[in-house]
Amino acid sequence: MVIGLLMVSAIPTTIGVCEALSAQKKANAAAKEKAKFHLTVNLCLDENGPVECWCVLKDGKLWIDHPAAPAPGHKFTGWYFMYPSEAQQLGLVSYVSADPPALNWIFVDKDSHMIRHGSRAETLGGHTVGPWHWSNDEQWLALEGSDAEFVAVEQENKKWAVAWDGDGSIRASTGWDDETDSDDGSEEGSRPKRLRWLPLKLRRRLEFGMESRYVKGEKEG
């Protein structure tokens, strides 16, 4: 009977420990989501080979600041934040200016597939706002569970911007490029141009220089 009473009296303690551990796990996860990070890509545009470049925000797009195609802008400095909607998806925000400091949502344009930044009102209308997260090794930015669907697309200004090609339409794009002659006699100005794109992955560089898996203070094997 004494043993039975001891077991019963220990139950609240056990429950309390489990609840504390669960709360700690949630706090650790929230800390990792709120850790600020920059984005870089390895991109080869010329004979110099791949270059690790910063991703920057300007004029509503996420640009790649490559030495061969400089794209000045505000360095992406973002973190994960729950997007306010019924779906309760993990969204992504970033500063877009320092003075005055301004914060924008990061989303994918439903028509162009380009990664864009803007106010919450600008994210409405069917654009993809998430869920954003990280890859299994926590090194790469992921959207809808994948880190492998991002591409760099050359813009009209000859600079490169980041797009999300979740449906493969950019990589499967066809059309006329600048040096291809039309067989139907159409004028050059009326022919669609072939998109110039390159595959890429967006690397998460934590603002304070430590890998995401160490944010909670313990190394995971």
pLDDT at 26: 55
Interval 91-139: pLDDT, tens: 999 999 999 999 999 999 999 999 999 999 999 999 999 999 999 999 9
Q: Does the global pTM surpass 0.85?
A: no
Average pLDDT, the chain: 83
Element (H, E) at 67: none
pLDDT at 217: 35
Question: Mean of the pLDDT values across residues 7-35?
Answer: 61
* Cα separation, 134 vs 217, whole angstroms: 18
Q: Where are the beta strands (DSSP E) in 19-145?
A: 37-43, 51-58, 61-65, 74-75, 77-82, 90-98, 101-108, 115-118, 132-134, 141-143
Element (H, E) at 135: none
